[in-house]
Amino acid sequence: MNKINAIGLDKDKAKYLSEKLNELLANYSIFYQNTRGYHWNIKGEKFFELHLKFEELYNDLLLKIDEVAERILTLGHTPKHNYADYRITSKIKESVQVSDGTKAVEDILASFQTIIVLQRELLTISSDADDEGTNALMSDYIREQEKLVWMYSSFLNR
């Protein structure tokens, strides 16, 4: 029996990678929907600034959701696609209505921490599997998000 998948990776390692990517997909999906809520419900003196920043963020998250799902498919597996699974799997929890900008940014920073830690784990797993495609994706995401963490932290004077 062939132990190598269509892109030359060990099938067992690709399966494990896909499971971890589905976990990332769940976290990204909840993070995305939370950010949409912050965008819709933000109030106060920083409304115009944050409303735009949250829109930029949720648009970026939407692209990453699609890329992660397509990576799972490339590995030969199926991305999960329903919120019932996401709620069970995600470490990021659904937020209640948040209209306070400071609270929204704090939630975003906590979500980034969760996402970045998981992506670092995926870097290790993908490296072990010789999966340069997943490794490069995670590396790019981490670099971008570290800068966003710095920027959102600066907004909070941290």
pLDDT tens digits, residue range 5-40?
Answer: 999 999 999 999 999 999 999 999 999 999 999 999
pLDDT reading at 83 higher than 80? yes
pLDDT digits 0-9 by tens, 104-149: 999 999 999 999 999 999 999 999 999 999 999 999 999 999 999 9
Q: Is residue 40 part of a domain?
A: yes
CATH at residue 92: 1.20.1260.10
Residue the block writes with tokens 């990021």: 92
Which residues does 136 contact at the CB level (< 8 Å), separation at least 6?
A: none
Q: Is residue 59 part of a domain?
A: yes
Range of the domain at 59: 11-155
Q: Is residue 2 part of a domain?
A: no
Which residues does 27 contact at the CB level (< 8 Å), separation at least 6?
A: 89, 90, 91, 92, 111, 114, 115, 118
Q: Is residue 127 part of a domain?
A: yes
